[in-house]
Amino acid sequence: METLAPDKPTLVYKEGDGNIAVLNGKTIAMIGYGNQGRSQALNMRDSGLHVIVGNRDDTYKARAEKDGFEVHPIGEAVQLADVSFLLVPDEVMGDVFERDVRQNLKDNAAIVFASGYNVAFGLIELPANADVLLIAPRMIGVGVRECFLNKKGFFSFVHVHTDRSGNANAVLLALAKGVGSLVKGAIDVTFKQEAVLDLFNEQAFGPAFGRVLLSAISTLVDAGYPPEAVLVEMYMSGEMSYTYQKMGDVGLVKQTNFHSQTSQYGAMSRGIKFLSLPVKEKMKEILEHIENGGFAREWEQPISRLKFKLIKFFAMRQKINKLERDVRRRLGVIEKDILEAEPPTDEEMQALNEIKKELRAFENSFSEF
Ligand code: NDP
């Protein structure tokens, strides 16, 4: 185990910190067999652990059975398990927990969340008889499996929220090792810190980055550059993802060494022109709204689901979508997984009437490009 800043030590767990033998004779139930569930179940089984799956009777169940797992209804899997990983979408987690998990938990069993959201914002009332753990991969599901198979591992955020058994930390680290995260490193952060970091990345960095990217594209297209060349230059080539990878590998600034001298001079000398943008102030506002639970409360309101439906509809009608579709067709890039969005029904629009002004602002914001 390593600690970082000496004044406020961060615990970073590595391969040597986990002992899988702690889980000998234990049954681990994966509740949900989707993005994370499938990859984590396969990794755990390959690490020599006894894994079962809890799922409703549908295609995910069939997939788990095809992969050779014993599949039970969720409540039954929890009853059989010493450790239950709750790997269903965060939006349904509360209902699944109350319906199938709480009353079926064995005393001193452990429940493991892959996201801090529901616990951090008080959306699930935690049971008193179980260990409550966090193992939140910083990796999408397919990556969790790939990085296990190629032995590179993946970072995760881990935490013991409740140690009912008296052995929760050893169990946490054995599980983190079994799933394949300790190869790279597991960083101890609270449920709230995990949730806030995740939401902040999505709500502050993501949209700010998107806005910058769209501004760059529209500046070039408006100036008469060929859209095919603009989109390839800006993101379709995939060069950006290499740059991102190199940031992680060698450092945010040091990765510039992989670019030409001209590129480095241009980038470093022009950053100053964007210094006055009030990005950080906006980000602080967003952070505060997440930290004080404002976002979670907003998202819990039924009207937010309707609002989301309409905003997504606006987003899918943005000019960039048509431009992109034409460019992809002309470049022969196969269109896959392009989402279309249905507009809200008349009845839903009626319900949205009270936030009409706010919605108009969203519509305008998407009509720029
Ligand atoms: P998925 O959307 O892939 O989960 C699908 C699974 O959930 C299926 O087994 C599905 O089974 C089950 N499910 C869906 N709805 C219900 C329901 N109402 N009742 C019972 N089961 C249901 O989820 P993810 O793997 O993406 O996310 C799981 C957890 O991992 C979340 O906490 C998420 O925040 C976290 N996480 C996700 C990451 C990612 O990259 N996706 C990254 C890191 C963490 P069925 O429909 O058959 O019932």
**pLDDT tens string 242-293:** 999 999 999 999 999 999 999 999 999 999 999 888 899 999 999 999 999 9
Asked whether 56 lines ligand 1 (CB < 6 A), one says yes
| pLDDT level of residue 125 (50, 70, 90 thresholds) | very high
Q: 240: Cβ below 6 Å to ligand 1?
A: no
Determine, yes or no, domain membership for 248. Answer: yes
Helices in the chain by DSSP H: which ranges?
35-46, 59-66, 74-80, 90-96, 117-120, 141-149, 168-179, 191-200, 206-222, 227-231, 239-250, 261-270, 279-291, 294-300, 302-316, 319-331, 346-351, 356-367
Has residue 241 been placed in a domain? yes
| Residues 185, 206 within the same domain | no
Whether residue 131 is found in the same domain as residue 55 = yes
Residues 32 and 152 in one domain: yes
54 and 87 housed in the same domain: yes
- The DSSP output letter for 82 is S
- The total number of structural domains in the chain stands at 3
User: For strand 185-188 and strand 50-54, is the pairing parallel, antiparallel, or unpaired?
Assistant: unpaired
Is 49 within the bounds of a domain?
yes
Contact 108, 84 (CB under 8 A): no
Q: Measuring from atom 2 of ligand 1, which residue has the nearest CA?
A: 89
Q: What's the gap between Cα 13 and its chain centre?
A: 21
Q: Is 236 left (phi over 0), alpha (psi -120 to 50) or beta?
A: alpha
How many CB atoms lie under 10 A from the CB of residue 361?
9
What percent of the chain clears pLDDT 90, i.e. is strictly above it?
Answer: 83
**Residue 175, by phi and psi: left (phi above 0), alpha (psi -120 to 50) or beta?**
alpha
* Residue 3 or residue 323, greater confidence: 323
Give every CB contact of residue 275 below 8 A, 6+ residues apart in sequence. none
Strands across the sheet containing 11-13: 2-3, 11-13, 185-188, 155-162, 131-137, 110-113, 83-86, 27-31, 50-54, 71-72
Task: Read off the pLDDT band of 33 (50, 70, 90).
Answer: very high
Residue nearest to atom 18 of ligand 1 (CA): 92
Ligand 1 nearest atom to the CA of residue 32, by list position:
9
pTM of structure: 0.92
Please answer whether residues 301 and 350 qualify as being in contact, where contact means their C-beta atoms are separated by less than 8 angstroms.
no
14-23, 71-80, 348-357: range with lowest mean pLDDT: 348-357
Query: Do 367 and 227 sit in the same domain of this protein?
Result: no
CA of 347 to the centre of ligand 1 (A): 30
Q: What share of the chain is helix, strand, coil (3-state, %, to 5)?
A: 60, 10, 30
Q: How far is the CA of 296 from the centre of ligand 1 (A)?
A: 18
Does ligand 1 have an atom closer than 6 angstroms to the CB of 346?
no
In this structure, are 212 and 272 located in the same domain?
Answer: yes
3-state secondary structure of 190: coil
Strands 2-3 and 11-13: antiparallel
208/331 same-domain check: no
Task: Say if ligand 1 is within 6 A of residue 115 CB.
Answer: yes
